[in-house]
Amino acid sequence: MNYETIIGLEVHAQLLTKSKMFCRCSTDYASAPPNTHVCPVCLGMPGVLPTINQQAVEFTVMTALALNCTISDYTRFDRKNYPYPDLMKGYQISQSYAPFGHHGWLTIEANGEKKRVGIDNVHLEEDVAKLIHRTSPGGESYSLVDVNRAGVPLMEIVGEPDLRSPEEARQYLMKLRSILQYLGVSTANMEEGSFRCDANISIRPQDSTDLLAKVEVKNMNSFKAVYRALEYEAERQRKRAAEGKKLAQETRGWVEERGITVAQRSKEYAHDYRYFPEPDLAPLVLNREWVEAIRSKLPELPEARRDRFVAEYNLPLYDANLLTSSILMADYFEACMRGAPQKSAKPVANWIIGEFSRLLNATNTGINDSKVGPVALFDLVQLIHEGSISSTSGKSVLEEMFHTGKSADDIIKAQGLSQISDTEAIEREVMAVIRNNAQAVADYKAGKKQSLKFLVGQVMRATRGRANPTVVNELLEKKLEEG
Amino acid sequence: MTLVEVDYLPHPLKHPLKAVVLGTQAPVGGKELALLPILRYGCYNDHTMKLSREEVLHIALLARLGLTEAELDRFMEQLSHILENFEVLQQVDTTDVPPTAQSIPLQNVTKDDEVAASLPPGQILANAPRKEKEYFRVKAVLE
């Protein structure tokens, strides 16, 4: 039997506020010693009162608007009760009945077609404390609690089960991350934990609406992990179904090192959350004009920017998509292009998407932390474009710029890399190569045309990549015909 | 003790839920205090308000309380009595009273996003029953 995969994702994103959701402790805990950004409110001391962070509310409304949600006129917080030591109060302040936004969507590209993925709701809650699990020398297991993270504003985006493959899930996550980064509401970094994803995945017989058991997958800490976990889980469910075994409705954890999901011990009464309205917080009435004012201030979002890149810089859609998937890369590109003619756009895009991205990824460097600023990169692209250096030399120059921060000009001068377009100089090398490679020359004359490539390579090698390849090609062909 | 009956506001996404909320907590202590917040949530659809042994054990589990047999009997009676009081309140005609979860009609109370000093580190761990270095130490709880 053929089965269809049904996936819905729940994403949690930490918001980029300065202070926590309900108190004034700093959210900047990443490099802080444990339990230093803590006060009676986030510690859950008796008698304290939380207060809603206005900035977190605005960020959530911005996100809900960008995700085409209907914004609630009336919204409020609820208590979600559960006994786990990462909650200092014994409950989490969340939203269950009246989220900020609901019934939204975002578009992804799947198999070359646009697809709309539903957003059930966007709501706001607080992050929990960090637990470190330990075992004492005597064999007792215990946990250490760091409360710094508890109370950091956490926005949850609940997606509809509209995704049909791990690839669509990956697209959805990348699109969502991109939107959050464009809005400036979250760093949306999965590895650092400011962007987290849980997945619901099930299969159903084709053309049926009966889902087999719904499985929740947790513990995925990168985009790649989400993709691999979902791929594994879809396959596992299909195998079990094919064997006629029953699928359990359960929560499974992704084990990165082994590349599998394993059933997690289910919490007893796990879903007895007993939500009720948070009595310590007054509800929020979201004024229409205020919401519209936020809507009008929304920044340009990835799709709009991509379309503008195509129109304004005459870039292919593919390049525009890659450049605008990250706001930092899109900003970098536009900084390169400031004052530059439109025809530079394609070569600049090529160098950013290609060699520069390769260097950034290989060294795990953020585009803004690199030693190569937009002006320096543009200068390099210009030098290549003008023929001052070859494209091959350009790669090594960029690498040198990347590691030393020197300008392209200085490196070219210091290393004598200027491209040789001087026909006489190249002719000398061409003749030498023809003399020293009799076999290849004979092959070429016997009709083996790819020998020319080898001979071009030899000339490039002799000139350390500095010879203008077009001139080398022309001269070689000419000399071979003559001789 | 102020008792308020609340009909959760119907929301397009979720089904409306009936619940009972204690507006203000009665001044009680010990295990009674721990059990009360759980009663804020009414899942007791039974017509009689008498709680069963199992229900009290369930509530105790949710509060992570271990009860002795004697305590179980005592709380079964006391908690049932509290619910009986709700029964009295249920008789009030609230047809024209808009539902609310608040005792004071406030709305849109927020703070600016500004950072203030946190507690000094020494004070943060001062009440911790167990600590290790700068961490709270708790028993392992399996997810």
The predicted-structure confidence for A391-417, as pLDDT tens digits, reads as follows: 888 898 999 999 999 988 888 888 777
A34-48, A112-126, B44-58, B87-101: least confident range: B44-58
Name the residue facing A85 among B13, B107, B138 (closest C-beta). Answer: B138
| A438: CATH | 1.10.10.410
Cross-chain Cβ contact A277/B62 below 8 Å: no
Any idea where the domains of chain B sit in the sequence?
3-91
User: Last residue of a domain, which of A386, A415, A444?
Assistant: A415
- Collect all residues of chain A within an 8 Å Cβ-Cβ radius of residue B23: 279
Within-domain flag for A95: yes
- Measured CA to CA, the distance from residue A10 to residue A155 in angstroms comes to 10
pLDDT at A45 over 80: yes
Q: How far is CA A54 from CA A119, A294, A341, A471, in A?
A: 23, 13, 43, 65
Using alpha carbons, select from A126, A124, A129, A125 the residue that is nearest to residue A149: A129
A251/A280 same-domain check:
yes
Residue B27 pLDDT = 34
Name the residue facing B40 among A76, A144, A276 (closest C-beta). Answer: A276
Instruction: Report how far apart the first and last C-alpha atoms of chain B are (Å, whole number).
Output: 37
pLDDT at A142 over 80: yes
* Structural tokens at position A401: 């710029």
A438/A397 same-domain check:
no
Q: What is the mean pLDDT of chain B?
A: 72
Cross-chain Cβ contact B13/A272 below 8 Å: no
Cross-strand bridge partners of residue A157: A11, A122
Average of pLDDT values for A238-265?
Answer: 91
Cross-chain Cβ contact B113/A36 below 8 Å: no
Residue A239 or B37, more confident: A239
A252/A394 same-domain check:
no
User: Last residue of a domain, which of A244, A266, A290?
Assistant: A290
User: Which domain covers residue A178, as residue numbers?
Assistant: 3-290
- Collect all residues of chain B within an 8 Å Cβ-Cβ radius of residue A275: 41
Chain A residue with minimum CA distance to B130: A144
A278/A167 same-domain check:
yes
A226/A357 same-domain check:
no
φ, ψ of residue A6 to 5 degrees: the values are -120, 120
Confidence of residue A247 (pLDDT cuts 50, 70, 90): confident
Average of pLDDT values for A193-209?
Answer: 92
Name the residue facing A276 among B19, B109, B139 (closest C-beta). Answer: B19
User: How far is the alpha carbon of B73 from chain A, nearest alpha carbon, in Å?
Assistant: 23
A348/A445 same-domain check:
no
Average of pLDDT values for A221-248?
Answer: 93
User: How far is the alpha carbon of B7 from chain A, nearest alpha carbon, in Å?
Assistant: 11
Residue A470 pLDDT = 82
Residue A15 or A447, more confident: A15
pLDDT tens-digit series, residues A321-367: 999 999 999 999 999 999 899 999 999 999 999 999 999 999 999 99
User: How far is the alpha carbon of B105 from chain A, nearest alpha carbon, in Å?
Assistant: 8
A17/A119 same-domain check:
yes
Determine the residue type at A342. Q
- Measured CA to CA, the distance from residue A479 to residue A434 in angstroms comes to 9
Name the residue facing A267 among B102, B116, B143 (closest C-beta). Answer: B143
Name the residue facing B8 among A97, A121, A282 (closest C-beta). Answer: A97
- Collect all residues of chain A within an 8 Å Cβ-Cβ radius of residue B124: 35-36, 38, 43, 147
pLDDT at A387 over 60: yes
Within-domain flag for A138: yes
Within-domain flag for A337: yes
* Structural tokens at position A364: 């795990």
User: Last residue of a domain, which of A397, A415, A433?
Assistant: A415
Name the domain count of chain A: 3
Name the residue facing B107 among A53, A142, A284 (closest C-beta). Answer: A284
- Collect all residues of chain B within an 8 Å Cβ-Cβ radius of residue A83: 62-64, 141
Name the residue facing A276 among B41, B111, B142 (closest C-beta). Answer: B41
pLDDT at A102 over 70: yes
- Collect all residues of chain A within an 8 Å Cβ-Cβ radius of residue B19: 276
Residue B84 pLDDT = 87
A44/A184 same-domain check:
yes
Cross-chain Cβ contact B12/A103 below 8 Å: yes
Cross-chain Cβ contact B135/A34 below 8 Å: yes
pLDDT tens-digit series, residues A49-90: 999 999 999 999 999 999 999 999 999 999 998 878 898 898
Confidence of residue B142 (pLDDT cuts 50, 70, 90): low
pLDDT tens-digit series, residues B6-32: 333 333 333 333 333 333 333 334 455
Cα A199 to chain centroid distance, Å, stands at 17
In contact, A300 and A327? CB cutoff 8 Å = no
A265/A354 same-domain check:
no
How many beta-carbon contacts under 8 Å exist across A and B? 157
User: How far is the alpha carbon of A17 from chain B, nearest alpha carbon, in Å?
Assistant: 7
In contact, B114 and A18? CB cutoff 8 Å = yes
Q: What is the pTM of this model?
A: 0.80
The listed range with the strongest mean pLDDT (A7-21, A456-470, B38-52) is A7-21
Determine the residue type at A380. L
Residue B6 pLDDT = 38
Q: What 8-state DSSP symbol labels residue B34?
A: H
Residue A271 pLDDT = 62
Within-domain flag for A296: no
DSSP letters, B71-127, are HHHHHHHHHHHHHHHHHHHHTS--TTSPP-S-SS-----EE-S-------HHHHTTT
A394-408, A458-472, B59-73, B118-132: least confident range: A458-472
User: How far is the alpha carbon of A216 from chain B, nearest alpha carbon, in Å?
Assistant: 14
User: How far is the alpha carbon of A146 from chain B, nearest alpha carbon, in Å?
Assistant: 6
Residue A182 pLDDT = 97
Cross-chain Cβ contact A53/B113 below 8 Å: yes
Q: Which residue has the tokens 């804020």?
A: B40
For the beta carbon of residue A475, count every other beta carbon within 10 angstroms.
20
Within-domain flag for A79: yes
Chain B residue with minimum CA distance to A287: B108
Q: What contacts A137, CB < 8 A, 6 or more positions away?
A: none
- Measured CA to CA, the distance from residue A180 to residue A15 in angstroms comes to 9
A390/A427 same-domain check:
no
Name the residue facing B124 among A17, A35, A268 (closest C-beta). Answer: A35
Q: State the sign of the Cα–Cα–Cα–Cα dihedral A385, A390, A395, A400.
A: negative
- Collect all residues of chain A within an 8 Å Cβ-Cβ radius of residue B6: 277
- Collect all residues of chain A within an 8 Å Cβ-Cβ radius of residue B58: 269
Q: What contacts B76, CB < 8 A, 6 or more positions away?
A: B51, B52, B53, B56
Cross-chain Cβ contact A274/B8 below 8 Å: no
